[in-house]
Amino acid sequence: MVQRETLRLADETVFDAKAYGNCEVVASSFGLLVVLLRQQSLKNLFASDSSFGRLREFLNGLDFCCLADETAGEAVTRDAAVSAVAPVPKSTPSGNEPPRPRPRAARKLTLPPPLPSKTVQNTPPPCSSRISKQQNRPSPNMKEISENTEIDTPEKKLLITKRGQQLIGQLQAVCEEKRESLSTVLSYLCAFGDQDATAVIQDVIEDVTCRKGVKRGIQDLAGEETYAKYVESLRVPDWILLFFKTRARISGQTWQAVLNITQLGRTGKSSDIPVLLNTNQMKAVKRMVFDVCRKVIGIKKVCLPIRGYCVELAPVVEMIAREQRLHQVSSPVIKLMIKIDGRPFWGRDQVLIGIVPCVCPLLSNQSAKSVYPLVIANCKENRENLKILLKDVNHQKKALKENGIFVDDQHYRVEFTVTVDYKTLTLLLVKKDDEDFLLSGR
């Protein structure tokens, strides 16, 4: 800040401009130059200019002490010249006014002349000199631009994008001359196991995933459709997840906790990888699978007045045939045992009728896990109840013995053997004119 009345122009006249106060803000050209050079973008712009290099060398070589002496000498010489040309005005009678400071003389700095060029004027330099100059001052590559700490991130992105577009344009031009495209060349080489092309793609994936993260990098490089197919390839059928949850006896709350921890649920969140079913989807799949199983096996209620449920015999035999064929123990004849047991669930008034294959691929035929239930009823184990429960089973058994069964276009004969305890044997003794109660041969 400088007092307004002390300001003088180059011709010693008073500085007369629109006044906003008694003080004026004065800045030197050197100070403005320093402020401009402190800006990062302009600094990099000036640094690439040859004139700026000569200016910097000139300013660094200045001796400000000598400049001060030269300025004082110029002021004395200017005062002597002015006094010789024009007389000095006399002072007024009132000598109380303080002497006004005289303005300092402005010094114009001149840059040193540029170095003389070796080439003749009006003669273009040969191509070899141009190439040598370009080789002496190569432009920075993308890695150097990215690692440069003096450049801001937006400027880095702009420079890298511009340089990359130029290189991609040149590569595409070369490929078009050969009637190919860059993507086609790399894809075919990688598909046929070319190590060089595969190394290029691997380097690209590693660099992108290192900067963006593995998940985000793969999503951006692979695309939405390909990434969705990749995630889908990681999934297993929904019924397998339901089977696992049912066999492991995992509650809905525990299943939801697993999804929250692993972030593998199909929750719709961008942070989750949609591999496992969420809780609502698991309930829907369970309802659908159980409905289909009820229809396929033919689950229905037992005839009144007995309370219970039964299934059809043919679907169960078909399931046994597929299991034996899966474990390569099947034969043209399927041998089954019919078993009757009371209190199968350690309760009272319970009756179970089931079949057990004579050849079990995984378990012994004496194991309880080898039994395929046909009828489970809440009733007493007496002759009247057994007669009601065995009536439908006898009709289905008779049809299978006469006609056999077709499983996946392959015919099987079915043979039955009845295995009961002594109590049940006495209840199953055939009486006269009671053919519906006949469970096995006489």
Task: Name the nearest CA neighbour of 386 among 346, 351, 434.
Answer: 351
Distance between CA 271 and CA 274 in Å, rounded? Answer: 9
Mean pLDDT taken over the chain: 78
Q: What are the Cα distances from residue 74, in Å, to 71, 82, 100?
A: 5, 12, 19
Question: How does pLDDT run across 89-117, given as a tens digit for each residue?
Answer: 444 444 455 555 554 444 444 555 555 54
pLDDT band, residue 119 (cuts 50/70/90): very low
Percent of the chain having pLDDT more than 70?
74
Question: How does pLDDT run across 176-197, given as a tens digit for each residue?
Answer: 888 988 888 888 888 888 888 8
What ranges do the domains of the chain cover? 2-81, 235-293, 298-437
Place of tokens 């395929």: 372
Distance between CA 108 and CA 205 in Å, rounded? Answer: 58
- What local confidence, expressed as pLDDT, does residue 96 receive? 53
Is 350:377 a contact under the CB 8 Å cutoff?
yes
- What local confidence, expressed as pLDDT, does residue 413 receive? 92
Question: How does pLDDT run across 240-277, given as a tens digit for each residue?
Answer: 999 999 989 999 899 999 998 988 888 878 788 888 99
- What local confidence, expressed as pLDDT, does residue 356 receive? 92
pLDDT band, residue 44 (cuts 50/70/90): low
Distance between CA 360 and CA 370 in Å, rounded? Answer: 7
pLDDT band, residue 139 (cuts 50/70/90): confident
- What local confidence, expressed as pLDDT, does residue 127 receive? 53
Is 331:411 a contact under the CB 8 Å cutoff?
no
- What local confidence, expressed as pLDDT, does residue 434 receive? 60
Question: Which runs of consecutive H residues, i.e. helices, occur in 115-223?
Answer: 127-136, 142-147, 153-177, 182-191, 195-212, 214-222
- Can you give the C-alpha Rg of the chain in angstroms? 50
pLDDT at 384 over 90: no
pLDDT at 324 over 60: yes
> What is the pTM for the complete model shown?
0.49
